Amino acid sequence: MTQKIFPRVYRAYFEYLYARHKDPWDYETDPYERDKYARTLEALGGRRFTRALDVGCSIGVLTALLAHSCDDLVAIDASALAIRRARRRLAPFSHVDVRRGSLPEDIPAGPFDLVVCSEVLYYFDEELLSATLEGLKRELAPGGVLLAVHGRFESKTCPLTGDEVHDHLKANIGLEHDIEANGPRFRLDLFRSPTAPGESRAAVEAGACSIIDRLLNTVLLGPPVRAEPDGSP
């Protein structure tokens, strides 16, 4: 498949999925997903981010959790239906900008001090993955982090497995590998871009505030985010 055809095929596939299910992967209710989200937030270490990017945000469940630790957050997804649901969920967060767009061509302009790629990169083939990672790296701020987390399942609809994505990241991304927090069902890696000359990593992280406990107690362990009230897709 070429770079141009591949995302178009997937757009139709994802629209079909979202037309059939409000939450195709049970992000709102599946305890495994909630545990994975908790581990994702934990890996971010309570740091506060100035401007973050959530790639392939789907219906915005993870985006809503990330929103608590970002001053500005851009969430992007190729699916119109997913974006509609994400916008509804994220309406209370005026600092979250939910955009429809397809990577790598629509990578939003940075600089971002956080880029999250959760359950999205295995939809790319090797060529698109490399192009996407190059584009995301270009938009990373000095000292910024790229967090990737992907399930370890085999799927006929994904060109790559989660393991292949993370092996590729570790071998090729060219950023400092900072955190590895693998589970039996998922892989999580956090990479860090070099800090600007004269700026120490401690200084970059000086703005960290311990919001993890609050998030875990009030958001993750609270009632699940309600599904849409109406039956519309």
Q: Which two tokens stand for residue 183?
A: 């589970």
Contact set for ligand SAM, span 86-105 (CB under 6 A): 102-103
Does 219 sit near ligand SAM (CB under 6 A)?
Answer: no
- Taking the C-alpha atoms of residue 49 and residue 112, their distance in angstroms, rounded to an integer, is 8
Contacts 24+ apart (CB under 8 A), 223-227: 224/28, 224/29, 224/34, 225/28, 225/61, 225/64, 225/89, 226/28, 227/22, 227/23, 227/28
- Nearest-approach distance from CB 195 to ligand SAM, in angstroms: 27
Minimal distance in Å, beta carbon 58 to ligand SAM? 3
Question: What is the tally of helices (H) and strands (E) in the chain?
Answer: 8, 7
How far apart are alpha carbons 57 and 52 in whole angstroms?
12
CB of 57 to ligand SAM, least distance (A): 6
Among 41, 44, 61, 145, binds ligand SAM (CB under 6 A): 61
The residue from 49, 93, 123, 191 that contacts ligand SAM (CB under 6 A) is: 123
Q: Does 195 bind ligand SAM (CB under 6 A)?
A: no
8 A C-beta contact, residue 175 and residue 139: no
**According to CB under 6 A, which one of 22, 25, 111, 142 is a site residue for ligand SAM?**
25
Which residue number, 13 or 91, has a Cβ lying nearer to ligand SAM?
13
Binding status of residue 159 toward ligand SAM by CB under 6 A = no
Q: Which residues pair with 145 in a beta bridge?
A: 114, 192
Task: Please identify, using beta-carbon distances, which residue of 44 and 204 lies nearer to ligand SAM.
Answer: 44
Residues in the site for ligand SAM, rule: CB under 6 A? 7, 10, 14, 25, 27, 56-58, 61-62, 76-79, 82, 102-103, 118-120, 123
